[in-house]
Amino acid sequence: MFDNWKIFENNLGFIPSNEIKEKLAKYYEILVQENSKYNLTRIISEDDVYEKHFLDSLLFTKEFQISNQKIIDIGTGPGFPGIVLKIFFPDTHITLIDSNNKKINFLNIVIDKLNLKKIEAKHDRAEELARKENENYDIAISRAVAYLDVILELVVRFLKIDGQAILLKGPRAEEEIKNSKQIEKKLKITLVNKQILPDTGFGERVNLFYQKNISTPELYPRDYAKIVKESGK
């Protein structure tokens, strides 16, 4: 049973309630069970999942207030950060999207067994769903899905005007920011904040906050092949 709650206290400033702890424990149990049938994550030891997935999904909330916003988590995989956010912030409305149906089946098991409300898992590609759900979300969040210029193009159309994209990045964020300046201009989105977190043993984390001020030009997002081909990566 995980008991190193100090790392949550040290990094977030509080220890989760018993209700949250129980939900996290159940989530971990389902993750281990289902991971033995098909690959969901390489990180599976209990301490690692709590630190590198659960805690890591929440670090950005030190800089950004989550209340009852409408949030989409793009390329959520086994639910990071979307399921963790739902557990900690039950008033949010969360949409999880992933192009891999196995992940969606897994997420539906978690949603059901944890009895989570105001959350849905959609099997779709971001660049396609973005056109159907044009400007529908306050926040578009994404972790470990693609190089920054690619992910910016995938997320931007989902955002309402004045919405924010929150992109959880690693130690190469600065280089990615530099290589994404052109597309940033074309997408009409602006980097407004950068949260550089110290390496606490699981690699440096840089969380990027982008603001959308005007509607996304009709051209974007383009076909995935085109986006990737023109990436500065």
Q: Residue with structure tokens 């990094």?
A: 11
- Sequence-ordered list of residues with C-beta below 8 angstroms from that of 198, at least 6 positions apart, any chain: 204
What is d(CA 190, CA 67) in angstroms, rounded to the nearest whole number?
A: 23
Q: Which of residues 76-115 bind ligand SAM (CB under 6 A)?
A: 76-77, 80, 97-100, 103
164 binds ligand SAM per the rule CB under 6 A: no
Which of 23, 143, 169, 212 contacts ligand SAM by CB under 6 A?
143
143 belongs to an annotated ligand binding site = yes
For residue 18, the minimal CB distance to ligand SAM (Å) is: 26
Question: Is 227 in contact with 153 (CB distance < 8 Å)?
Answer: yes
35 binds ligand SAM per the rule CB under 6 A: no
For residue 1, the minimal CB distance to ligand SAM (Å) is: 23
225 belongs to an annotated ligand binding site = no
Which residue's CB comes closest to ligand SAM? 77
Cα→Cα distances 172→72, 148, 169, 186, Å: 24, 10, 8, 22
What is d(CA 74, CA 79) in angstroms, rounded to the nearest whole number?
A: 10
| Site for ligand SAM, rule CB under 6 A | 75-77, 80, 97-100, 103, 125-127, 143-145, 154, 224
Known binding-site positions: 75, 80, 126-127, 143
